[in-house]
Amino acid sequence: MLRIENIHKTFFPDTANEKKALRGVNLSLEAGDFCTVIGSNGAGKSTLLNAVAGAFPIDKGSISIDGVDVTSMPEHKRAAFIGRVFQDPMKGTAAGMMIEENLAVADRRGRRLTLRWSEQKDRSEYFRELLRGLGLGLEDRMTAHVGLLSGGQRQALTLLMATLVRPKLLLLDEHTAALDPKTAEKVLEITDRIVREQTLTTLMITHNMRDALRFGNRLVMMHDGRPILDVRGEEKAKLTAVDLLNFFEKAGDGVSDKMLLSK
């Protein structure tokens, strides 16, 4: 489903600030793979997701999604089949619009259609059901402006919007890092349910080793611009936090406080 071949990205090349963020990344995801991505600060995790989303051109290598080479496809075109949720709850939803309006916009992604009034009513009921499924009481606040919601409610809504039209690929960039632990847990539960129900091919960056271990069927550890560990299935299920710490140590990487302190 996702094939990343030997991609490189250097920021500010040939200057004093040169930073080789990606140094020959190879990674292939099968359809339905839920892959968690972990790594220390500056390892290249966000750059990898941004490269896949097309946020900037890569220097070398290729990226294909569902058999289509997207290496030179602009970000807005890839957005038609990539769902994204960022760390910042302010991104991904329009604060000045109602919950229902936000969902209606997401519902039109990649499609050019105008719904008849009766169809709009059906969609509205469908949105209400989806919101009910979140278990956050948003189904009774369909006309509330999104700017009034809490960070966790916004992230849950963003998730719903990112997956309303089934994406070929879902990219989650530390999407619960800005939330308090209880809310983060709720949003992760919702994430896991949506990903499983729709068998979405997913890349989820997390700084939380426990979350990286308990979610998904794949785990990739990034270090210094490339993956240094890629485990799946049974092997991943057996992996422990101690194993991960050992890998970090072997790579000569200090484990960030963020990783150690997250519960």
**Which residues here bind ligand ATP, judged by CB under 6 A?**
11, 19, 21, 39, 41-47, 207
Give whichever of 84 and 207 is closer to ligand ATP, judged by the CB atom.
207
Give whichever of 45 and 84 is closer to ligand ATP, judged by the CB atom.
45
Region for residue 235 given its phi and psi (left: phi exceeds 0; alpha: psi -120 to 50; beta: otherwise): alpha
Q: In angstroms, give the least distance from the CB of 42 to ligand ATP.
A: 4
Residue 159 neighbours by CB under 8 Å, 6+ apart: 85, 175, 187, 190, 191, 194
Give whichever of 47 and 102 is closer to ligand ATP, judged by the CB atom.
47
Q: In angstroms, give the least distance from the CB of 43 to ligand ATP.
A: 4
Q: In angstroms, give the least distance from the CB of 41 to ligand ATP.
A: 4
**CA-to-CA dists, residue 178 to 71, 88, 136, 182, angstroms:** 31, 7, 18, 12
Residue 10 neighbours by CB under 8 Å, 6+ apart: 18, 19, 20, 21, 59
Give whichever of 19 and 145 is closer to ligand ATP, judged by the CB atom.
19
Q: In angstroms, give the least distance from the CB of 207 to ligand ATP.
A: 6
DSSP-derived 3-state class of residue 218: strand
Q: In angstroms, give the least distance from the CB of 47 to ligand ATP.
A: 3
Question: Cα–Cα distance between 195 and 115 in angstroms, integer?
Answer: 28
Question: Cα–Cα distance between 54 and 72 in angstroms, integer?
Answer: 8
Q: In angstroms, give the least distance from the CB of 132 to ligand ATP.
A: 34
CB of 74 closer than 8 Å to CB of 57:
no
Give whichever of 45 and 78 is closer to ligand ATP, judged by the CB atom.
45
Give whichever of 22 and 162 is closer to ligand ATP, judged by the CB atom.
22
List the structure tokens of 238.
């057996």
DSSP for 42-83 reads TSSHHHHHHHHHTSS--SEEEEEETTEE-TT--HHHHTTTEE
